[in-house]
Amino acid sequence: MASSNDRGAAMRQKVDTRLVTAGRDTKAQHGFVNPPVVHGSTVLYPTADDLHAHRGEFQYGRHGTPTTKALQETLMALEGPQCAGVGLAPSGLAAISTALLAVLKAGDHLLVCDNVYRPTRNFCNGLLARYGVETSYFDPLIGTGIEQLLKPNTRAVLVEAPGSQSFEMPDIPAIASVAHAHGALVIDDNTWATPLYHRSLELGVDISIQAATKYIGGHSDIMFGTISANAKAWPLVAEGIRLLGVCAGPDDVFLALRGLRTLSVRLAQHHRSGLEMARWLSARPEVIRVLHPALESDPGHAIWKRDFTGASGLFSIVLQPKPQKAVDALLDTLKLFGMGYSWGGFESLAIPFDCNEYRTATKWAPGGPTLRLHIGLENVEDLKADLEHGFATFNAA
Ligand SMILES: *Cc1c(COP(=O)(O)O)cnc(C)c1O
């Protein structure tokens, strides 16, 4: 198997092999398959000379441990050769805020797509505004039209492909080529597809972020975030992480690595079941639209097909116009679909949402009440039966 420092040879393997073999230093792990969970702050130096020289692979718990090293190496193997480094954060939102603080300064302008994760917007409008960074929002379908919005002080463009409620698909290569021509960095929230299905660093993104709380963890049992950067952006990101003191707890680091080992098989099943449920829902009379870029009928399908190799289990549906109490009756009837935030675990979820509560650059008029579904690893026939019961109460309400 690949030794931890043999990155070139490892990169020639297929990605699902790399997910299994990367970051495993069998000798240092005393033969065990998995790394130890190192709970540690102080690292002792054997001599004063070693101390003065900061000699040794690990110097202080916050800067890294054998456990974080195993996870970072595996994430780098997943991202591919463009990845110069991966930072770890205690949540997906912390990964986003850390990346933004690392690259921006007072007086800068930031462009953010209007379908962005809502707490990201709150961070930009709140803390970043207080620190003298101006944020403006753009239509996710803007493409090269972003040229008109770039200012001399635009330092970064943040995209999310697709948006995790409304699923519009931005053209990342088009946005990146214009942003780079103006000297701006491109940041992508790649939580939906993960680097397994969307090679964002290869498509021109400089910093690729994941809420590892979702598919990397995969079991709804951790909060975690990752920041992958190319050679241009990594020095800034690494400095930001160091200055801010961002680090993640060892048990969560271990669980993130454990989740990563099985990401490929889990995501393949989420893709299959998600698409099957999306097609089934498209044919239901209660559903007027399914927002899922892997469906041929979706407006983002051509971009999805060009830039993605798979889809996850998260998509939305627009229901026939009915009062909220009919939607609530549907939700209250569901047994397999739980109601709750987050997604990416093994379980199916359903939540209502309304993008009008926060959008500023685009109009959101779906034509009916909207639900976001996460298709978990349950059997799809059971999930269909659960939704059929829900639709019966929706129709009766
Ligand atoms: C959940 C999520 C986040 C934030 O992740 P947390 O770990 O909950 O902080 C960021 N972006 C997207 C797209 C998400 O779905």
Query: What tens digit of pLDDT does each residue of 229-240 get?
Result: 999 999 999 999
Which stretches does DSSP call E strand in 267-385? 287-291, 314-319, 349-353, 370-374
What average pLDDT does this structure show over 362-373?
96
Please work out, in degrees rounded to the nearest 5, the angle formed at the alpha carbon of residue 86 by the alpha carbons of 84 and 92: 145
Residues 6 or more apart from 345 whose CB is under 8 A from it?
214, 217, 218, 219, 220, 221, 374, 376
> What number is the average pLDDT over the span 379-396?
98
Q: Which of 234, 261, 288 is the last residue of a domain?
A: 261
Q: How far is CA 166 from the centre of its chain?
A: 15
What would the pLDDT profile of 272-299 be if each residue is shown by its tens digit?
999 999 999 999 999 999 999 999 999 9
Contact, 262 vs 218, CB < 8 A? Answer: yes
Can 27 be counted among the known catalytic residues? no
How confident is residue 8, by pLDDT bands cut at 50, 70 and 90? confident
Using the 3D structure, point to which of 229, 261, 293 is the last residue of a domain.
261
* Cβ proximity of 368 and 318 under 8 Å: yes
Beta strands 287-291 and 314-319: pairing type?
Answer: antiparallel
Same domain, 101 and 230: yes
Distance 211 CA to ligand 1 centre (A): 5
Cβ within 8 Å of residue 385, ≥6 positions away: none
pLDDT attached to residue 143: 97
Please choose from 164, 169, 221, 226 the residue to mutate so as to test ligand 1's pocket, defined by most ligand atoms within 8 A of CB: 164
Q: What is the mean pLDDT of residues 106-131?
A: 98
On the question of pLDDT at 1 being above 60, the answer is no
Within a domain: residue 33?
no
Confidence of residue 6 (pLDDT cuts 50, 70, 90): low
Do 225 and 343 reside in the same domain of the chain?
no
Domain holding 311: CATH number? Answer: 3.90.1150.10
Question: 246 with 290, same domain?
Answer: no
Angle at 163 between CA 159 and CA 164, to 5 degrees: 130
Q: 363 is in which domain, residue-wise?
A: 264-396
What value does the mean pLDDT take over residues 151-180?
97
Atom of ligand 1 nearest to the CA of 94: 9
Where among 194, 226, 261 does a domain terminate? 261
Is residue 62 annotated as a catalytic residue, yes or no? Answer: yes
State whether 251 and 327 are in the same domain: no
99 plus 248 within the same structural domain:
yes
Q: Give the pLDDT confidence of 291-332 residue by residue, as tens digits.
A: 999 999 999 999 999 999 999 999 999 999 999 999 999 999
Q: Are residues 246 and 383 in the same domain?
A: no
Nearest CA to 328 out of 394, 267, 376 is that of 394
Give the C-alpha separation, 307 to 172, whole Å.
8
Beta carbons of 60 and 38 less than 8 angstroms apart: no
* Residue of 96, 112, 213 to mutate, ligand 1, most atoms within 8 A of C-beta: 213
Find, among 171, 191, 168, 169, the residue nearest to 179 by Cα: 171
Same structural domain, 87 and 213: yes
Find the catalytic residue in 7, 25, 62, 284: 62
Query: Is residue 268 domain-shared with residue 257, that is, in the same domain?
Result: no
The closest residue, in CA terms, to atom 8 on ligand 1 is: 92
- With a cut of 90, say whether residue 387 has pLDDT above it: yes
CA of 93 to the centre of ligand 1 (A): 6
Determine whether the shortest distance from the Cβ of 128 to ligand 1 is under 6 A.
Answer: no
| Average pLDDT over every residue of 241-245 | 98
120/242 same-domain check? yes
Would you place residue 392 in the very low, low, confident or very high pLDDT band (cuts 50, 70, 90)? very high
Whether the CB-CB separation of 4 and 77 falls below 8 Å is answered with no
Residue 55 lies in a domain: no
Q: Is the pLDDT of residue 264 over 90?
A: yes
User: 223 and 338 in one domain?
Assistant: no
Residues 263, 77: contact at Cβ < 8 Å?
A: no
Give exposure, 35-71, as e/b (b: 16+ Cβ within 10 Å). Answer: bebbeeeebeeeeeeeeeeeeeeeeebeebbbbbbbb
Ligand 1 mean position, distance from CA 225 (Å): 8
Domain assignment present for 139: yes
Examine residue 28 and state whether it is found in any structural domain, yes or no.
no
Q: Which of 359, 350, 356 is nearest to 314 (CA)?
A: 350
Instruction: Report whether residue 211 contacts ligand 1, using a CB cutoff of 6 Å.
Output: yes
The answer to whether residue 243 is domain-embedded is: yes
Residue 5 clears pLDDT 80, i.e. is over it = no
Q: Give domain status of residue 344, yes or no.
A: yes
Residue 382 has pLDDT above 70, yes or no: yes
Look at residue 364 and tell me if it is in a domain: yes
- Annotated active-site residue 189? The verdict is yes
Asked whether residue 75 is assigned to any structural domain, the reply reads yes
Q: Please give the number of the atom of ligand 1 that sits closest to the Cα of 93.
A: 9
So what's the pLDDT on residue 10?
A: 72
Check whether residue 297 and residue 329 sit in a common domain: yes
How many domains does the chain fold into? 2
- Listed in order, strand segments (DSSP E) in the chain are 85-89, 109-113, 134-138, 154-160, 185-189, 207-211, 225-229, 287-291, 314-319, 349-353, 370-374
Average pLDDT over every residue of 55-77: 97
309 lies in the same domain as 355:
yes
- Check residue 242 and give its pLDDT: 98
Q: Read off the DSSP letter of residue 202.
A: G
Helix (H, G, I), strand (E, B) or coil at 317: strand
Q: Which of 91, 93, 223 to mutate to test the pocket of ligand 1 (most atoms within 8 A of CB)?
A: 93
pTM over 0.85: yes
Longest CA–CA span in the chain (Å) reads 78
Share of the chain above pLDDT 70, in %: 98
Q: Mean pLDDT score of the chain, rounded to an integer?
A: 96
Q: What is the CATH number of the domain that holds 178?
A: 3.40.640.10
